[in-house]
Amino acid sequence: MKYQSFLIKYAEIGVKGKNRYMFEDALVKQIRYALKAVEGEFEVTKESGRIYANALTDFDDEDAVAALKRVFGISAICPMVQVDDLGFEELKHQVASYLEQVYPEKNFTFKVNARRANKQYPMTSEEINRELGEVILERFPGLRVDVHQPEVMVHVEIRSRINLYSQVIPGPGGMPVGTNGRAMLLLSGGIDSPVAGYMIAKRGVVIEAVYFHAPPYTSDRAREKVVELARLVSRYAGPIRLQIVNFTDIQLYIYDQCPHEELTIIMRRYMMRIAQRIAEKQKCLGLITGESIGQVASQTVQSLAATNEVCSMPVFRPVIGFDKQEIVDIAEQIGTFETSIQPFEDCCTIFVAKHPVTKPNIHIIRKSEEKLSERIEEMVCEAVETAQTVLCQE
Amino acid sequence: MEAYLDNSATTRALDSVQEIVARVMREDYGNPSSRHKKGMEAERYIKEARSVIARTMKVQDKEILFTSGGTESNNMALFGAAMANQRAGKHIISTRIEHASVYQPLACLEQLGFAVTYLDVDREGHIRLQELEEAIRPDTILVSVMYVNNEIGAVQPVEEIGRVIKERNPRILFHVDGIQAYGKYEIRPKRQGIDLLSVSGHKLHGPKGVGFLYIHEKAKVKPLLYGGGQQKDMRSGTENVPGVAGLGVAAREMYTDFSERIRRMRELKDFFIDRLEEIPGTVVNSQRGEKGAPQIISASFQGVRSEVLLHALEERGIYVSSGSACSSNHPAISGTLMAVGVKRELLDSTLRFSLGIYNTREQLDYTIEALKELLPVLRRYQRG
């Protein structure tokens, strides 16, 4: 069965009152973007509370469905066939041949659900339901009607042409990217941060990202891995501008000046400070991290409080209450897991002390940071200014 | 400046190799099995390469089997010999410092019911002939020893090993992994008692994806690949004509002005070892002069992680390996370094520098200067 178009249903944005058009427009834009990567040309239109994606050329329908399943804001994707209105007798054949082709096994319960946008049509919806139901029963003896909980709901929408659809493929839900501001993701190369980025993007937020590179302690392969992760997240979140910050000098300076068991926490504080400065430059309104309480020494509640203290922006931590396995499950589902587990060291693992503090005292940390006062401001500025930008997209 | 010192991982192909590979792809692209002229032209390249290679070792053309490279040659030698001779016995002897493309097939053969004895090596990476002799059993069918070790450049006394084996039982097959040795040594299988010898093209400035296995005409070996019956049924699959042609050219070049080239390479090696020893906290794991291979220098740098040093050198255009490049994909600590008694705390601080024909004394000086600058800085920043 070759579909020509998809009817796209959306959930949450339907209830957004006067802003509804804005949400719909954002969704249309995201659908267009997603389908650009698919072979074939599409026309995406908005029509009385519906979004349609019509193929103008031959297209790869598996790829198209896969792409649409990654567009936040879509609650369901219905592959649809459009037929010309050639009268009711012809419609009977059209519906039968539709079912013939879509369902190889004809042993399910069904119900016909007709709607008339074109009220000139000579029959009422009820009449259409009944008559088409009879035709289907006659033609396919294995089918049974169930008006309450049909396995297949055969939708027949009568407009200037007639839309037939019955398959409902669940979409990812959420809100269209671009409807909820912009935030800066701290991307490490691990399992958690790509998941965090995905989750915030799902709420409609445009994602930017920052990665801390520490050559020669981290390799170019580790950097490539992060670029690849950003690209994988961009399949959902749209193009991601990744800033690669050279962090080596700052790291070494902290190592020289501060107690080694505090290295990680002080380093994290500077990462947050730098991320925030870049975020401000890029007009982001928040930071995103993949932190989860208690996962490592730098993610105890005390450590989180200590790193959080340097931020004036809100820090979104969508996986904060997740177990590792729950995060892994999402990473596998969105396809970032395999890349995340490639064994390249990131700069957090290089300078880890044998016994890092797990309950940092904020006053002591601040005191230690005073030892950096001579050069750190200049170094942070340089790190921000020399950050390299890589645009990550499909 | 750029200093590519990772020639035991792979080499830059010679210009003459690039030319012939391109020409075969562009003009003489026929299938050697085709009956028409295009096929015959292609076949001619295979014949030519075969005879050039055979001459470098004074063996017969028909004893050269082209493969996809070192790994396939080693697999073919081990599985092929084991499968063809298992009625005579199921015991194999090898060493503790083999490359993964030898010890993984051996591990697989163990699962298939073969017994393998692994010989220890001394501090210089040599097996003891007496131990070898004691390890030989009535059911021993195969001995596999690498000629030049890929991590430290230790050279086995191949000829003596061959003699020990053949004196005990001339029917035991002797396989030599010659991947780091071919092009660096004058190998004479007939004199050295070698029945099977594995070689890879891209270690000698030839193309990747091609190599050969020398198989003594009397040696019984079963094929790995079955199909169209190419190469006298010993390895089905259309021959990699451009690769084989390139390999032939590389082999010829490596054995032209051979002694002079190797003498020069050895001089560079000794020079580099001398200069490395100027650097405090450095332990050279390779042997000077004739005792070690001419191209491989392994050195450990106290208090520095090899991975970090590798990337720091890379920033200056100097390319080296930590351990051996083929095995540095998995983090397992090198078996060879442990076997030759490199101190535990130095295992993760060891780099391999390997020379090729394009290296110069200036590049080595440049590398030494870089090391002298980098090491004190890197030593200041250690984990923990």
Say whether residue A252 is in contact with chain B using an 8 A CB cutoff: yes
- Residue A352 pLDDT: 73
Interface of B with A in 291-310 (CB under 8 A): 307-310
**Which residues on chain B are in Cβ contact (under 8 Å) with A351?**
381, 383
Q: What is the mean pLDDT of residues A269-288?
A: 97
Nearest to A179 by CA among A273, A72, A276, A257: A72
Across chain B, what does the average pLDDT equal? Answer: 94
Task: Spell out the domains of chain A, with CATH numbers in brackets.
Answer: 5-170 (3.30.2130.30), 182-392 (3.40.50.620)
pLDDT band at B326 (very low <50, low <70, confident <90, very high): very low
Question: pLDDT, tens digit, for every residue of B44-75?
Answer: 999 999 999 999 999 999 999 999 999 999 99
The answer on pLDDT for B323 being more than 70 is no
* B299-322 residues labelled b (16+ CB within 10 A) or e (exposed): bbbeebbbbbbbbbbeebebbbbb
- Residue B325 pLDDT: 42
**Which residues on chain A are in Cβ contact (under 8 Å) with B319?**
none
Query: Scanning every residue of chain B, which has its alpha carbon at the shortest distance from the alpha carbon of A220?
Result: B311
Question: For residues A209 and A231, what is the distance between their CA atoms, to the nearest angstrom?
Answer: 11
State whether residue A213 is helix, strand or coil. Answer: strand
Cβ atoms of B172 and B162 within 8 Å: the answer is: no
Would you name the residues of B annotated as active-site residues? 326
> Hey, CA dihedral for B80, B83, B86, B90, is it positive or negative?
positive
Question: pLDDT, tens digit, for every residue of B94-122?
Answer: 999 999 999 999 999 999 999 999 999 99
- Residue B327 pLDDT: 45
The answer on pLDDT for B332 being more than 50 is no
- Residue B330 pLDDT: 42
**How is residue B16 written in tokens?**
């003459």
- Residue A346 pLDDT: 57
**A220, A257, A350: best mutation site toward chain B, by most B Cβ within 10 Å?**
A350
Q: What is the mean pLDDT of residues A263-287?
A: 96
The answer on pLDDT for A292 being more than 60 is yes
Question: pLDDT, tens digit, for every residue of B258-294?
Answer: 999 999 999 999 999 999 999 999 999 999 999 999 9
Q: What is the mean pLDDT of residues B140-157?
A: 97
Cross-chain Cβ contact A216/B312 below 8 Å: yes
- Residue B198 pLDDT: 98
ipTM given for this complex: 0.79
Question: For residues B275 and B318, what is the distance between their CA atoms, to the nearest angstrom?
Answer: 16
Task: Spell out the domains of chain B, with CATH numbers in brackets.
Answer: 3-11+258-380 (3.90.1150.10), 15-254 (3.40.640.10)
pLDDT band at A50 (very low <50, low <70, confident <90, very high): confident
Residue A161: is it exposed, middle or buried by C-beta count within 10 angstroms (0-12/13-18/19+)? exposed
Q: What is the mean pLDDT of residues A226-237?
A: 96
Percent of chain A predicted with pLDDT > 90: 78
pLDDT band at A149 (very low <50, low <70, confident <90, very high): very high
- Residue B181 pLDDT: 98
Question: For residues B231 and B66, what is the distance between their CA atoms, to the nearest angstrom?
Answer: 8
Cross-chain Cβ contact B309/A216 below 8 Å: yes
Question: pLDDT, tens digit, for every residue of A309-360?
Answer: 999 999 999 999 999 999 999 999 999 999 999 877 655 555 777 788 889 9
Cross-chain Cβ contact B315/A216 below 8 Å: yes
Across chain A, what does the average pLDDT equal? Answer: 92
